[in-house]
Amino acid sequence: MKFQVPRGTADVFFEEAELWNYIEQTSKEIFKRYNYKEIRTPIFEYTELFQRGVGETTDIVEKEMYTFTDRGGRSLTLRPEGTASVVRAFVEHKLYANPDPTKLYYIGPMFRYERPQSGRMRQFTQVGVEVLGSSDPAIDAEVISLAIRIFEEMGLTNLRLELNSVGCPVCRPLHREKLVTHLHGVKEKLCKDCQSRLERNPMRVLDCKNETCQEVTKDAPTIDQHLCEDCKSHHEKVKAYLDQMGIEYVENPRLVRGLDYYTQTAFEIISKDIGAVGTICGGGRYNGLVAEIGGNDVPGIGFAFSLERVALALKEKGIDLKLAKGIDVYFVTTGEKADSVSMKILDDLRKAGIKAEKDYLGRKMKAQMKAADRLQAKYVLILGDDEFESKKVILRDMASGEQQEVSFDDIIPVLTSKLR
């Protein structure tokens, strides 16, 4: 039997793994600048957490979750997103007792049963942040600027920030009433999903990507026409902060996001370099979520992006990331005496922080030199029995071909100087 990876998953190695590491490390460095701390939550949680936290009427909960019953008869679900788990940890460990807002970031695998396509897999890696404990519009602007900063520092500049306010429990009921009335007039023209959403979650109809639904709802009332004074004020202040920071945005009154927990600020960042489905990041405020999951009424805001989609955008744009390639030195040995000391020298090189490799297949010198070339070694150390007797090695610069003799004691200082 020939085994293959399950549909919607992928093996990641070599250059692709280096690209992933680059995205993760760049993100972590910027998170630290903004004073965000890392959190790691379990890959699976009790199913009810996502039903309550994400929303029972969302596509994620209705269609996309990987849910199973364990041997104790408990319903568990592989996490489809990160926010619900972070909020659960916030409540469970009483992080709300902190005097300052809790600023967290996470990086890890998520799971959704959906149709695999370029940049969208059933197992995907999500990078996200959550800020809990502040309703200040300035923190909304910070979260948005943080996401923009990550992408810009990677070289993704052809971006569009779309912004909206999705209101709150005070102003949504009036909008919902008017929206449902309008949608009933075009119900028969809506797709099956939107017909289902009409009564349970009508705002999601505005976000449908079906062209027919977009056309028949183009005159539907949007939430921006019904915002209460608090939501209007909050939204204006968020925009003012973005203006101060020079962050351009487009207001999109149909932007509602796909999760039930959003209130007030909602945003998406779209890359113009990866085709029709160009959204690479999304987020927003969720002031009622902590209470929904069993905690106090603590406000929150966050964003998340798929590492795979960002990697796709970087490759599509052809950005030279200057990822570290090759190794520093390849150790070529000929003869038993030379080989007998090679591991000691190799180990000393690695302890000194030098990326080093040697032959483990007993190949001739010519084959070893070819291996050094394949590994893009900057230098080669050549040690034969004659060099062993004189306690010296030949150091060859692979770019210039220049060679010099170096004593055993001077190998590390000489190489360190050259590599610097």
- Between 311 and 200, name the one with better pLDDT: 311
CA distance 406 to 393: 5
The per-residue pLDDT for 240 is 98
Lowest mean pLDDT among 54-68, 294-308, 377-391: 54-68
Q: Per-residue pLDDT for 275 more than 80?
A: no
Q: Per-residue pLDDT for 386 more than 90?
A: no
The per-residue pLDDT for 260 is 67
The per-residue pLDDT for 26 is 96
The per-residue pLDDT for 209 is 80
Percent of the chain whose pLDDT exceeds 90: 71
| Bridge partners, 161 (sequence order) | 269
The per-residue pLDDT for 272 is 80
Mean pLDDT, to the nearest integer, of 117-144? 95
Task: Tell me the per-residue pLDDT of 226-249, one tens digit each, with 9 for 90 and over.
Answer: 999 999 999 999 999 999 999 999
Q: Considering the chain, what is the average pLDDT of its residues?
A: 93
Task: Tell me the per-residue pLDDT of 141-183, one tens digit each, with 9 for 90 and over.
Answer: 999 999 999 999 999 988 999 999 999 999 988 888 888 888 8
Mean pLDDT, to the nearest integer, of 78-103? 96
Mean pLDDT, to the nearest integer, of 326-349? 94
* pLDDT band at residue 201 using 50, 70 and 90 as cut-offs: confident
All domains of the chain in start order, with CATH: 15-171+227-317 (3.30.930.10), 329-419 (3.40.50.800)
First to last CA, the chain: 50
The CB density around residue 90, as the number of other CB atoms within 10 Å, is 24
CA distance 196 to 207: 14
pTM of the predicted model, to two decimals? 0.90
